Amino acid sequence: MAVRKTESRIPAGLQPSDLGQALVAPDNRCCMVSFIHSPLVLNRENTYVVFVTDAALAGNISNYEWTFTENASPPSVQTTESGEITYIPQATGDLEVKVRLLDAGATEQASLTISQKIFELNEELETLIAAAKNAAGAVEGNIEVERELINDFNTYYQEVALQNAESGEGFKQFVFSMVYDGALQQPPAARKQRLADLAAAINDGAGDYATLATAGAGVCSIRLSSLAMIVPLGGAKWLPWQELPEDANQRAFADQQLRDDLGKLEEAKRIDLFNIVRFPKSNINFCGHLLEALRDKYFSGTNFSDVLSGMSGTRSHWIMRHYREGPVAHS
C-alpha cells in the first residue's frame, strides 16, 4: 500500500486549505496540498502532498503519477511510491499539476489537478538585495532567507491573526521575527531532512519520534511537545502543562519525561502534530497561536506592541525562550 500514515489524515480540527493551497476531490476521498500558494516563483522548489483519507481508496493505491505542464511546453511526468513530490518551476506563466493515483495494475483510482501561476522573483526585494551586496556586511545566508520569506511565505505570515484582536502591529512583527529566525537557523535542506526523519519515524518506525520531535521542526522550528501542551488541538490540549526546571540536571530528567509523554500519544495525534509543523502555512499559523498562548500565560493583558518594546524587550525574550526551550520555570 502506497498511502503512508502521514498522508492518511488531515489534522483534527483543520481543513486541507489550512495547510496550503488545496484541491479536494468531489467525493472527499482524497486531496492535494501545495506547500506554497499560487503564484509560485521561478526556480524555487515547491512540495506537493496527496492525502488519501478514505480507507477503501487507500487500500488500492500502489503509486502516484505526477504530470507537470508549464505553458505549452512538453509535460514532465514522474512516478513516486509515496504521495509527496517536489518540483522546481522552469518558466514564468501557467503551471498545471496533475496526480493520478494508481493501483498495482496501473489503473487510475482517482486524480487531482491544481492550476498555479509562476512569477519572477520579487523585483523590489531583488533591487534591495543588489544594493545590499554592494554594501559592507551583506550576508548571503540572510539574502536567501529574505528571498524565502518574501517570495514563498509572505501571504502566510501576513494572514496570521490573534484569537483575541488587539491594536497595533506588534503581534505580526513578532510572528515575522520568529519565521525569519527559524528560516535563518534551519535552512531549507536541513528543515526538509528533519521533517523526513520525523515522517520515517511515524511511517517506518525508523528512529524515535519523541526524541526527533524535541528539536524544533518546520519553518518556525516548533517543538511538537510545546504544541501539544500549549495550543488546543481538535478542541483540547493533548499534553498537560509542564515547565522545565532551570537546573540543567533537573531539566534533562523533566525533558525526558515530556518526551516519553509525547511518544505515548495515540498515533493519530502524533501524525497530526507532524502535519501541522510540516506545512509552512500551518506551521506559521500555529507559531502565532503559540506566541499568543505564551503571552497570555505569562503577561496576560499586555499588548504585543508592549511585549516587544516594554521593559527593554524582556517580555519578548522570555516568550521566545519558552517557545524554543520549554516552557521553562521561573528561577
Q: Is residue 113 domain-shared with residue 177, that is, in the same domain?
A: no
For 29-38, 72-81, 170-179, 252-261, which range has the lowest pLDDT when averaged over its residues?
A: 252-261
Q: Is residue 66 domain-shared with residue 213, that is, in the same domain?
A: no
Q: Is residue 86 domain-shared with residue 190, that is, in the same domain?
A: no
Write down the mean pLDDT value for the chain. 92
Partners of residue 99 on adjacent β-strands: 66, 112
Q: What is the pLDDT of residue 148?
A: 96
Q: Could you tell me the CATH number of the domain that includes residue 23?
A: 2.60.40.10
Q: Is residue 303 domain-shared with residue 208, that is, in the same domain?
A: yes
Question: Domain boundary at 119, 146, 170, which?
Answer: 119
Q: Is 125 within a domain?
A: no
Q: Is 191 within a domain?
A: yes
Question: Domain boundary at 87, 119, 151, which?
Answer: 119
Instruction: Tell me how many degrees the CA angle 20-262-318 measures, rounded to the nearest 5.
Output: 75
Contacts with 20 (C-beta within 8 Å, 6 or more apart), sequence order: 33, 34, 35, 36, 37, 279, 280, 281, 282
Question: Domain boundary at 119, 143, 175, which?
Answer: 119
Q: Is 132 within a domain?
A: no
Q: Is residue 166 domain-shared with residue 231, that is, in the same domain?
A: yes
Q: Is 133 within a domain?
A: no
Q: Is residue 108 domain-shared with residue 196, that is, in the same domain?
A: no
Q: Is residue 54 domain-shared with residue 183, that is, in the same domain?
A: no
Largest CA distance in the chain: 66
Number of folded domains that form the chain: 2
**Phi-psi category of residue 193: left, alpha or beta, with phi > 0 → left and psi -120 to 50 → alpha:** alpha
Q: Is residue 184 domain-shared with residue 263, that is, in the same domain?
A: yes
Q: Is 67 within a domain?
A: yes
pTM over 0.85: yes
With 0-12 CB in 10 A as exposed, 13-18 as middle and 19+ as buried, what is 35? buried
Q: What is the pLDDT of residue 141?
A: 64
| Domain limits for position 115 | 5-119
Q: Is residue 171 domain-shared with residue 114, that is, in the same domain?
A: no
Q: Is residue 78 domain-shared with residue 175, that is, in the same domain?
A: no
Q: Is 24 within a domain?
A: yes
Q: What is the pLDDT of residue 91?
A: 96
Q: Is residue 229 domain-shared with residue 111, that is, in the same domain?
A: no
Q: Is 138 within a domain?
A: no
Q: Is 243 within a domain?
A: yes
What does the pLDDT look like over 224-251, one tens digit per residue? 999 999 988 988 999 999 888 888 778 8
Does the pLDDT of residue 300 top 80, yes or no?
yes
Q: Is residue 193 domain-shared with residue 99, that is, in the same domain?
A: no
